[in-house]
Structure 1
């Protein structure tokens, strides 16, 4: 029911900033972009990305399971295991029928499909893996997590483009409020490091070609020219606050508000005034029963594209009048597409826990059209009790999540 807080009792994070919650948080606080040349993209006009370093799926998941799964499932499953362990839950003893899995994915696995389509074009069907479809379709992220953890409650993925991870968290919250489940494993995972993704986003003009790569992602900067492809996963374990208290589970934060909207304006460009973004933020505030002045930090969508950053800043100015300090994680870890909203939600929880706002990388000269207090240079200590994370995507999809300290 509205006004019912949902406890975040577990986190799992795998990002270009590091594997594991603490490693990823430390990497983010350094405030330096992790973009670098990517061997998978060699020869393309944009041949760099933000990759997860030193992630050995065979070692983490076992060779047989790793072979069967695709990269976006590798990352998501590993993050889900982390989150469940962090929450102190045991899949061997939990009420499996009451455990939901709701995860966001922005697209299919382009890398695997590229190989399969090449074999199809060359009339080499006999060489195609019989796993080409089941390892690559988006719903298998949730399906494989449920299978691995023995979670037998509602199980599905959400797709709202680059807002998918945030949408998944909001929908999982609604399932808990409605009493459909008692535990929700939620978040998102995606790897945009595929030649098709890099080529197609490049053709749209969405990717920055700035060199060196570490300077390319620069949200809110006057010289921004597009985003950098990334990969990663974040998973949150959500429970009703009363249930978390009953089992004496440590609570990292409370998810107090969720808002969603559609621009109904353009299939890729945001509304220039950010009207849909504004509506999602206002809905999240009303859902939480909070006023704009209660919010001490905004984790912005901040893609580093020309139109998105201006539209988002206009929406923030209208909602908050004097917006609180803002940061943009994509400046460091790149754009993780369907996972972005989940990763940024997890970082928002950590910001509240540590009372420290991570810096935005590469902010050399603030765009004069953007009137915001952007945290840059060094992390900023802050005594804050509530923070909002915003996510937007193609199709005019908007989502806002509001977290507060325990």
Structure 2
């Protein structure tokens, strides 16, 4: 028996706020959450100036100071967002069969900050000074592991690591798990905190980061003058459950997940396939599973990183699936948040759920110079009130990992 899968709660940590409504209002208003790096955050000798930095994060809501010292920031973000999502979903874990509640939360990298700091300690002070908590604090699965510990979820507990597609793949795999009846509820999404010297230097070495000093012209997806992405940080977590479970406990249903696609490019370690084939196949898979036609998609939250080849190949992929003359509304909210890497798919899933709920498509802000090769409707600069029945989110990761999810408006 196959089950319908619904979204009943959402929580996040982001450069645009740490509550869903604050975040969504800022997204709707086209607020730029990208800001200048502090002097401490800058890397000497590198021309990198801005990032999508989390502000006013109150970890103490859900963990005391002693606990915070034992948790890397990406785990803290995940715990916070998961707790907020459970509260939003009005879940009482004491009333749940916790063996049927799972956690699938991805992270592209885990704690690079921890590795950076402990490596310096090793070099300067010797091996005995390396923290005994170094490994369990930094490994990428610990966002999922710690969320399970802090919530009491005892079902499937998995971490998906597919670079920038980690959040979307986590939600997609949770959807499949629920659809086929292995769980009743799954806490799913992504978490990342990589605004650290070694990450900035590493991505800079790939010539992947924008060198803009202007936050409004730094992350500019699909703009002809785009010249690299902006590092962001945060977490996006959704409570997914079978429709039967949601109905039985009287849950407020936000949206329904109806399709998921996952493919590989088998092409290059960092560049997407330039013909868009892998991304196109992921979109087709998700649309076919949703049992709809491509022209029923009303809104696409694009991966849209603001790099030349990503935006070009994704545009080509969308045309392959929806047609050369498609009028579908497309936007990249990375223009406002920067690129949250493994957490991107989590917060962008929240965006499409809210778009369905509010019949509103957010803008791609900072868009000034059209690119003749990227010639679709990217909802430039101003969001748009419009009917949204089906919405799609794309994530494309280093290594050729492609993920797409499709959500449908919930009508009760």
Paired position in structure 2 for 1:317: 319
Q: Aligned-pair distance for 1:323?
A: 4.3
Q: Aligned-pair distance for 1:59?
A: 4.6
Q: 2:403 aligns with which of 382, 393, 399?
A: 399
How far apart, in 1, do the equivalents of 2:284 and 2:4 lie?
17
How far apart, in 2, do the equivalents of 1:103 and 1:77 lie?
10
How far apart, in 1, do the equivalents of 2:83 and 2:11 lie?
7
Paired position in structure 2 for 1:38: 37
Paired position in structure 2 for 1:24: 23
- Alignment of 1:342 onto 2:341: no
How far apart, in 1, do the equivalents of 2:172 and 2:259 lie?
8
| Matched position secondary structure for 2:164 | coil
Please report the TM-score for the alignment, with normalisation by the length of structure 2: 0.96
How far apart, in 2, do the equivalents of 1:382 and 1:355 lie?
5
Q: Aligned-pair distance for 1:309?
A: 0.2
How far apart, in 2, do the equivalents of 1:323 and 1:134 lie?
48
Deviation string for 1:11-48 (max 9, x for gaps)?
A: 11211010111011112122232222222422342132
How far apart, in 1, do the equivalents of 2:61 and 2:49 lie?
28
| Matched position secondary structure for 2:96 | coil
| Matched position secondary structure for 2:177 | helix
Q: Aligned-pair distance for 1:377?
A: 2.1
Alignment of 1:236-315 (within 5 A): 236-315=238-317
How far apart, in 1, do the equivalents of 2:370 and 2:303 lie?
16
Deviation string for 1:45-91 (max 9, x for gaps)?
A: 21321111111323542212211101101111100001111111112
Please report the TM-score for the alignment, with normalisation by the length of structure 1: 0.97
Deviates more, 1:180-189 or 1:42-51: 42-51
Deviation string for 1:272-300 (max 9, x for gaps)?
A: 11100000000001111010111110000
Paired position in structure 1 for 2:373: 369
Paired position in structure 2 for 1:212: 214
| Matched position secondary structure for 2:163 | coil
Contact 2:360 / 2:383 at 8 angstroms: preserved in 1? yes
| Matched position secondary structure for 1:97 | helix
How far apart, in 2, do the equivalents of 1:108 and 1:381 lie?
37
Paired position in structure 1 for 2:333: 329
Deviates more, 1:268-277 or 1:86-95: 86-95
How far apart, in 2, do the equivalents of 1:146 and 1:310 lie?
39
Deviates more, 1:205-214 or 1:102-111: 205-214
Q: How many residues align?
A: 405
| Matched position secondary structure for 2:182 | coil
Structure 1: tracts of 5 or more residues without a match: none
Paired position in structure 2 for 1:198: 200
How far apart, in 1, do the equivalents of 2:359 and 2:147 lie?
32
- Alignment of 1:386 onto 2:390: yes
Paired position in structure 2 for 1:353: 357
| Matched position secondary structure for 2:236 | strand
Q: 1:85 aligns with which of 69, 87, 104?
A: 87
Q: Aligned-pair distance for 1:129?
A: 1.8
Contact 1:100 / 1:185 at 8 angstroms: preserved in 2? yes
| Matched position secondary structure for 2:21 | helix
| Matched position secondary structure for 2:256 | strand
Deviation string for 1:178-201 (max 9, x for gaps)?
A: 221111000010012111110010
Alignment of 1:105-120 (within 5 A): 105-120=107-122
Deviation string for 1:301-342 (max 9, x for gaps)?
A: 000000000000011011111141001011000000001011
Contact 1:104 / 1:158 at 8 angstroms: preserved in 2? yes
How far apart, in 1, do the equivalents of 2:149 and 2:258 lie?
29
Structure 2: tracts of 5 or more residues without a match: none
Deviates more, 1:57-66 or 1:93-102: 57-66
Deviates more, 1:333-342 or 1:49-58: 49-58
